[in-house]
Chains A and B, each alone.
Chain A
Amino acid sequence: MKQMVTITSTLLALLCAAGVWGAEHPGKSEIEKNGYKGPATCEECHPGTAKTFLDTVHWKHASKVDNVSNLDSKKEYGMKNRIYTMCNGNDIVNNLKEIPKNAEGKSKFTGCNTCHPGNHVSDVGSTGPEAQNAIDCLVCHSTDYDFRQRKPFKNAQGQVVMGQDRSTKAALAIAKPTVKNCMVCHEAAGGGVLVKRGFVFTKETDAHAAKGMVCVDCHKAKNHKIPTGFDPNNWANDGVRVACTDCHGDKPHKGLSAVYNNHTAKIACQTCHIPRTGGAVAKDFTVWEKGGDGFYEPTTLKQEANATVPVYAWYNKTVRNDQHFIGPNGSRKDGKSKIYPFKIFLGKAFYDQKTGKLLSMDFAPPMANGNTRAGVESAARTLGMKDPAAVAKNAVPGWQTIYFGSNHLVTKSKALNCVNCHGVNGVFNFRDLGYSDAEIKKLTNPELYFKQLIEKQKEEW
């Protein structure tokens, strides 16, 4: 047995020394010789991959969802069809198109599905050989992609096509996706840089980035199915999940900090290790503001990464989904919940006067002239609602509260310690978390942590 371990270790060491891991992608000479022909080139070494990719959330922008209330378990949900107030549009009602001219006579292409890794002719959820050939493998896998190519344009048939960089130069730079590859789409989601997610993944803002890790080190894909966490607002998933404990285990603290391991059954890692959030805190889709370029955008109250503090709530990984609220289910007594940090976002949009349901919006009309009810009417028409003009005319503005999971901006050095939570003015609202006055008195008494922190203080100083 020992001999086997030694041989395996030696082989691994040799492989590492030879640079097999992290080495340049094989097949370079073939690509140089034959040029890059899109997914067909990739398929020479990765047969069947394109077809498999069409069944992922990145292509379908939707999946079945089993942890969110008020959904049809047989249907798929995601940015393809969701109606909520961070985006208010979706791939269907706000399909990529050339919008009407604004007052200055200018038009532009816009739509929720601009980040879809196809060519728009083969769009969200499309299938078959044409769709397979339309996949933009390089936008995620090349480190030398020319983004001037990835622009929408109209082809000879008048179809709106999303361009791609299929140059040999880009193909010769294929690799495991870098942070940049992911952030090309994910940093600008929700209507601008750091609007939706509110985090930058840099060595200054995240402990994992500081160690040189990239997104896919945690979100490690298998057959292009990418593991995600349980953000209450991020519904579509590939059926695979990622959690801090996958790498760190459920007793990650050592030495004097080992006492924190007593908390891991009830306190999520993120609660102490992600003490800040960021990004948009409120948006108003009923009133759009004119920008310097003559186009309108939803009025948005933005905050920088690390600029806001989270709200803490019990979460059992199931989600309450109502017309005016999307957020965590959970309680201290259900035996499944832990306390998690959340960014709370409030969005204002139009609701159907008759049904009380949140309406969606086609962004083309308001973007051109600020007419938000015209956007509601266009979306209602696309969705086949009865009398779209009346729906839009009678629509009622209202607010929706959304809890966003706080899963990035991880810190070790600035993690919360005993006092941050158990101090009299600590970050937790113990009453809201379900504790009685007597329990709160006990939970905020230094007796709980005094000796522990004195020892730590001695160690540090």
Chain B
Amino acid sequence: MKKSVAVLLVVAFVALSVLSLSRVASAEEIKMVGVITKIDIAGKDAKTATATLKDNKTEKLVVITINDDLTLDKFKDHRIVEGDEIRCKYEVIDGKNVSKLFRKTAGC
């Protein structure tokens, strides 16, 4: 009995460790620079939007979810538009690439 409890505890510990590690791994910040090919935002009151970036290095299309007010505002008044090159940091959360930094590379 004692032995099976100990085994169960070890299994539970290992499972928890794997789960927590995989959560850390999925929350890793990924950096990319790419050009916006598409912006999807639902109206002026939208609290979220997606932007598709074409990665400069890999040429792959990456869909980024944007939730921060500053960037959403820039989509709404078109300070950021399709064709702009963006420096982006994102984390994969629940299967979505959630933006942590989304800035135009160009300046004045």
Contacts and interface: CB of A to CB of B under 8 A. Distances in A.
Nearest to A115: B108
Given A148-B81, A180-B73, A292 B33 contact: yes
B77 A188 contact: no
Given A115-B108, A180-B73, A193 B85 contact: no
Contact of A147 (B78, B105, B107): B78
Contacts of A114: 108
Contacts of A200: 70
B85 A192 contact: no
Contacts of B33: 291-292
Nearest to A111: B108
A146 interface: yes
Contacts of B81: 147-148
A179 to B, nearest CB: 10
A188 B104 contact: yes
The number of chain B residues touching the other chain, given as a range, is: 10 to 19
B105 A202 contact: no
A191 B107 contact: yes
A190 interface: yes
B77 A144 contact: yes
A193 B77 contact: no
A112 interface: yes
A292 B108 contact: no
A147 B79 contact: yes
Interface string A87-122: 000000000000000000000000010110000000
B22 interface: no
Contacts of A297: 105
A230 interface: no
Contacts of A195: 107
Contacts of B79: 147, 184
A387 interface: no
B35 interface: yes
Given A292-B85, A293-B35, A191 B108 contact: yes
Given A180-B73, A292-B85, A192 B78 contact: no
Interface in B7-54: 33-35
Nearest to B33: A292
Interface string A249-284: 000000000000000000000000000000000000
Contact of A190 (B34, B35, B70, B108): B108
Given A146-B78, A184-B79, A202-B70, A293 B108 contact: no
Interface string B69-108: 0100100011101000100000000000000000111111
Contacts of A112: 108
Interface residues of A, number: 25
A293 B85 contact: yes
B85 A188 contact: no
A397 B81 CA distance: 37
A192 B104 contact: yes
Contacts of A213: none
Contact of A291 (B77, B78, B85): B85
Contact of A189 (B35, B103, B107): B107
B74 to A, nearest CB: 8
A144 B77 CA distance: 7
A194 B79 CA distance: 16
Nearest to B106: A192
Interface in A178-220: 180, 184-185, 188-195, 200, 202
A148 B78 contact: yes
A175 to B, nearest CB: 14
Query: Which of B33, B35, B77, B85: most chain A CB closer than 10 A?
Result: B77
A145 interface: yes
Nearest to A146: B78
Query: Which of B33, B35, B79, B107: most chain A CB closer than 10 A?
Result: B107
Interface string A110-151: 001011000000000000000000000000000011111000
A184 B35 CA distance: 20
Contact of B107 (A144, A184, A193, A202): A193
A18 to B, nearest CB: 28
Interface in A295-350: 297
Interface of B: 33-35, 56, 70, 73, 77-79, 81, 85, 103-108
Closest 5 CB pairs of A and B: A292-B56, A192-B107, A191-B107, A193-B103, A148-B78
Given A188-B106, A192-B103, A192-B105, 16 more contacts: A112-B108, A114-B108, A145-B77, A146-B78, A147-B81, A148-B81, A188-B107, A189-B107, A189-B108, A190-B107, A192-B107, A193-B104, A202-B70, A291-B33, A291-B105, A292-B85
30 contacts: A112-B108, A114-B108, A115-B108, A144-B77, A145-B77, A146-B77, A146-B78, A147-B78, A147-B79, A148-B81, A188-B106, A188-B107, A188-B108, A189-B107, A189-B108, A190-B108, A191-B107, A191-B108, A192-B103, A192-B105, A192-B106, A193-B103, A195-B107, A291-B33, A291-B85, A291-B105, A292-B34, A292-B35, A292-B56, A293-B35
